């Protein structure tokens, strides 16, 4: 009888031990002294969402949560509005715990070291703060440095103009933080922290462990530096969902990558949205656009499932990068979007521009204009409750520089010409109103065209026609721009210089201006 009792007791204890290892629990608490340690007087916070990367639960009235725990999980808190996290020396918010008891698989680039057993109570401190519903965030597309030299270009061309920026609550980089060499994560972090604001990151296709054999293992080095590749947080009346949408290896042929989501990621989105009010703005941040011109860059069923998950939310926005151009995508019912109001995806221009190519500026940094004629730069998203506006800022240029104007320098008086006046409106899209006038005359509409930006084409042509080798690296060939307008050139005017004025109204109703000129001369015999 006694022997049977000990067998039952041992079996029960073993079952409890295994059960304990399959669950993790802890508290989300008010970190009053901001030392990231839960102390007796620091009370828990109720109704805070916590996730293991797939399941999402809310803390109870004491601030306690409990989640299933596998052998490879990142436990993270979904920051509620009105609170903030402590940041580390690189200004990365500390909202997660990386649980890998055996560490990352062996790889060319180092991953997460073995974490051993999880703590008995995994606690997360939140710092209460005033958090306005009107705020601004800074957005980078593809820093993507392949070398330390390109990290220096990134610092000189982008970071130097943003150090100590005011009134920006946080920043986010939309993937391709580096270019395949994951040892550059540290120099990238050192550069970005100089801006001086909390910074979030997205995984891109050039941030992967390419020797991984499964998609879930392809972000191990990223996780070691930045934490989870899938997470969420709230700010004001905006709910941000950050996602790794790079499937690697490509499930179709195990070569390369494909845009899409795993089932566990879609489960995470569904479980997360259960706790988000329907009147909040949902902002999705990922690397690969939901659609690209070639039509096969993203798995259709994953996009359709994402749209189904968002169907009850009237206010949505997606942020992507990857293409090294700038474009406004709008998804309608014909694309599988399930609401009357189209879904806006802003494909953000990149901080690396055209991969650090082009002529060198006065600081020795490549001008790196993108193939659609958009200069390299970054974006500001301005939020007001659940509404937003977008502002693109060209690096190193005045805030007002939103349109590049192209016109011939000299034209024959009185002769018709096939040359034209072109306006590349960097934030523009088909349907926007762009007008021009000559010599303060009557405003006339310009015609939206799908064409190469002649300003950019001229930059590229200079590389091919210059008899002397130019410093830097040749720019990529031009591609069709989706934000270009054309006007005809009046030639029946007086000989001399004639002023060109351009005005464009963006999708948010804001007017932008630019100017240029051309000269008329009598025809030469």
pLDDT in tens, 427-482: 999 999 999 999 999 999 999 999 999 999 999 999 999 999 999 999 999 999 99
The answer to the question of residue 142 being in a domain is no
In this predicted structure, what is the pLDDT of residue 8?
A: 44
Residue 61 lies in a domain: yes
H or E element in which residue 258 lies: strand 258-259
Sequence-distant (≥ 6) Cβ neighbours of residue 199 within 8 angstroms: 90, 91, 92, 170, 171, 172, 173, 192, 193
> 148-157 vs 185-192: helix axis angle to the nearest 10?
10
* First vs last C-alpha separation in the chain: 120
Neighbours of 204 (CB within 10 A): 28
Q: Which two tokens stand for residue 391?
A: 């502002």
Name the residue with tokens 């995508």: 329
R_g of the chain, CA atoms, integer Å: 27
C-alpha 81/C-alpha 240 separation (Å) is 11
Whether the per-residue pLDDT at 55 is higher than 90: the answer is: yes
Distance, in Å, from the CA atom of 191 to the CA atom of 158, rounded to the nearest integer, reads 10
Which among 285, 40, 36 has a CA at the least distance from the CA of 174?
Answer: 285
Residue at a domain's end among 124, 159, 191: 124
201 φ, ψ (degrees, to nearest 5): -135, 155
| Residue of 28, 26, 49 whose CA lies nearest to 233 | 49
Q: What is the pLDDT of residues 162-211, one digit of tens each?
A: 999 999 999 999 999 999 999 999 999 999 999 999 999 999 999 999 99
**Residues 472, 421: contact at Cβ < 8 Å?**
no
Give the Cα separation of 288 and 257 in Å (integer). Answer: 11
d(CA 206, CA 133): 34
Phi then psi for residue 381, to 5 deg, are -105, 120
Residue 5 pLDDT greater than 90, yes or no? no
What pLDDT was estimated at residue 10?
42
Structural domain includes residue 421: yes
Q: Quick one: pLDDT at residue 7?
A: 42
Q: Are 75 and 52 in contact (CB under 8 A)?
A: yes
For 489, which DSSP code? -
User: Residue 80 falls within a domain, yes or no?
Assistant: yes
pLDDT band for position 17 (cuts 50, 70, 90) = very low
User: What is the token pair recorded at 57?
Assistant: 């639960």
Strands 444-445 and 447-452: unpaired
Is residue 288 assigned to a domain?
Answer: no
Token pair of 260, please?
């899409």
Considering only the C-alpha atoms of the chain, give the largest distance between any 2 of them, rounded to a whole number of Å. Answer: 120
Average confidence (pLDDT) over 139-155: 98
Check whether 294 has a pLDDT greater than 70. Answer: no
Three-class DSSP category at 84: strand
More confident residue, 499 or 255: 499
Closest CA to 405 of 388, 426, 389, 423: 423
Q: How far is CA 356 from CA 195, 324, 370, 374, 388, in A?
A: 21, 11, 10, 14, 30
Residues contacting residue 5 through CB under 8 Å, at least 6 positions apart: none
Domain assignment present for 434? yes
* CA neighbor of 159 nearest in space, from 186, 184, 185, 196: 196
Mean local confidence (pLDDT), 256-263: 97
The residue-averaged pLDDT of 306-320 equals: 98
The whole-angstrom separation of Cα 476 and Cα 472 is 12
d(CA 84, CA 127): 5
Q: How is residue 166 written in tokens?
A: 């005011």
User: Given strand 231-235, what is the order of strands in its sheet?
Assistant: 231-235, 238-242, 281-285, 316-320, 343-347, 327-331
Last residue of a domain, one of 85, 109, 124: 124
Average pLDDT of the chain, as a whole number? 94
In this structure, what CATH number is given to the domain that contains residue 499?
2.60.40
pLDDT for residue 6: 43
Nearest 10 degrees: CA dihedral of 168, 172, 174, 177? Answer: 120
pLDDT, position 293: 53
Annotate 219-273 with DSSP letters as a single string.
Answer: THHHHHHH--SSEEEEETTEEEEE---EESS-TTTSSS-EE---HHHHHHHHHHH
Would you place residue 292 in the very low, low, confident or very high pLDDT band (cuts 50, 70, 90)?
A: low
If one counts the domains in the chain, the total is 2
Query: Residue 21: which domain range?
Result: 2-124
Within a domain: residue 99? yes
Residue 364 lies in a domain: no
pLDDT over threshold 70, residue 16: no
DSSP states along 253-266: TSSS-EE---HHHH
Q: What is the pLDDT of residue 21?
A: 67
- In whole angstroms, give the CA distance from residue 147 to residue 153: 10
Name the domain boundary from 124, 145, 180: 124
Query: pLDDT tens-digit profile of 394-433?
Result: 999 999 999 999 999 999 999 999 999 999 999 999 999 9
């Amino acid at each position: 009888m006694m022997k049977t009792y000990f067998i039952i007791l041992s079996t029960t204890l073993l079952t409890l031990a295994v059960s304990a290892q399959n669950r993790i629990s802890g508290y989300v608490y008010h970190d009053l002294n901001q030392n990231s340690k839960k102390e007796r007087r620091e009370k828990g916070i109720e109704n805070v969402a916590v996730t293991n990367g797939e399941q999402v639960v809310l803390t109870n009235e004491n601030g306690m949560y409990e989640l299933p725990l596998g052998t490879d999980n990142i436990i993270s808190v979904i920051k509620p509005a009105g609170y903030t996290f402590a940041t580390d020396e690189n200004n990365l918010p500390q909202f997660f715990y990386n649980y890998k008891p055996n560490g990352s698989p062996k790889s060319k680039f180092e991953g997460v070291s073995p974490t051993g057993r999880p703590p008995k109570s995994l606690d997360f401190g939140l710092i209460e703060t005033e958090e306005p519903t009107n705020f601004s965030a800074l957005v980078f597309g593809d820093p993507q440095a392949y070398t330390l030299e390109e990290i220096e270009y990134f610092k000189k061309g982008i970071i130097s103009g943003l150090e100590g920026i005011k009134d920006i609550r946080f920043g986010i980089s939309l993937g391709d933080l580096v270019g395949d060499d994951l040892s550059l994560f540290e120099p990238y972090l050192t550069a970005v922290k100089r801006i001086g604001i909390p910074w979030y990151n997205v995984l891109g296709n050039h941030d992967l462990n390419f020797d991984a054999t499964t998609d879930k293992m392809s972000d191990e080095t990223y996780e070691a530096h930045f934490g989870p590749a899938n997470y969420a947080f709230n700010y004001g009346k905006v709910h941000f969902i950050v996602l790794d949408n790079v499937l690697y290896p490509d499930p179709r042929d195990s070569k390369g990558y494909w845009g899409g989501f795993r089932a566990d990621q879609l489960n995470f989105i569904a479980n997360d949205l259960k706790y988000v009010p329907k009147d909040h703005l949902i902002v999705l941040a990922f690397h690969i656009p939901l659609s690209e011109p070639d039509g096969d860059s993203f798995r259709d069923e994953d996009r359709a499932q994402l749209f189904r998950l968002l169907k009850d939310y009237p206010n949505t926005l997606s942020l992507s990068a990857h293409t090294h151009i700038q474009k406004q995508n709008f998804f309608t019912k014909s694309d599988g979007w399930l609401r009357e109001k189209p879904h806006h995806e802003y494909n953000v221009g990149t901080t690396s521009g055209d991969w650090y190519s082009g002529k060198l500026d006065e600081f020795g940094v490549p001008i790196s204009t993108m193939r659609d004629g958009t200069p390299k730069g970054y974006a500001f998203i301005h939020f007001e409750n659940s509404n937003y506006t977008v502002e693109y800022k060209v690096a190193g240029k005045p805030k007002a520089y939103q349109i590049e104007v192209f016109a011939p320098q000299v034209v024959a008086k009185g002769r018709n010409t096939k040359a034209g006046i072109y306006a590349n409106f960097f934030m523009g899209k088909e349907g926007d109103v762009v007008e021009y006038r000559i010599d303060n005359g009557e405003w006339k509409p310009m015609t939206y065209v799908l064409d190469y930006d002649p300003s950019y084409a001229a930059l590229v042509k200079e590389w091919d026609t210059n008899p002397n080798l130019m410093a830097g690296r040749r720019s990529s060939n031009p591609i069709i721009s989706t934000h270009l307008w054309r006007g005809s050139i009046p030639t029946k005017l007086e000989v001399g210089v004639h002023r060109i004025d351009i005005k464009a109204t963006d999708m948010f109703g804001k007017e932008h201006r630019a100017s240029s000129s051309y000269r008329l001369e009598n025809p030469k015999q």
